[in-house]
Amino acid sequence: MDGLVEFKTDDGAVVAVEAVEEVSGSRLVARGDGTVQAARTFEGALDGVRAAAESALRVFRDGSLKPDGVEIEFGVKLAAETGAFIAKGTAEGHLVVRLTWSPSAPSTPAVPSAPEAGAAS
């Protein structure tokens, strides 16, 4: 475990998350229990991930595929200074996209109307 980072929400609540070690030249100093105060709010840390999700949704919803549903899964890591970023998974970046289509309602074939009884032919 790299340590804990405490993010405050816009409401003032504290969210503690397991964080990754940043590879920058500077290093944050942790309290005695190993916890670091984040430089941004929790919501602020997730802004970039939200923007990435919105962009991905636009690409899949507005394209020619026209799916009924889009599910996007990001692996997200949180760091004290940089906030949230899309985590590297087994591939170069972790992003799973699922597109779904609902079967369209089966169309009922037109039934020819039967001639009324007693009608002249």
- Tens-binned pLDDT, residue by residue, of the chain (121 aa): 457 788 888 888 888 877 666 555 444 445 556 677 888 888 888 888 888 889 888 888 888 888 999 998 888 777 777 677 666 654 455 678 899 999 875 555 555 555 555 555 5
Are 8 and 42 within 8 A, CB to CB? yes
pLDDT value, residue 46: 86
Q: How far apart are CA 72 and CA 77, in angstroms?
A: 16
Residue 91: the pLDDT is: 46
Q: pTM (2 decimals)?
A: 0.58
State which H helix or E strand residue 69 sits in: strand 69-74
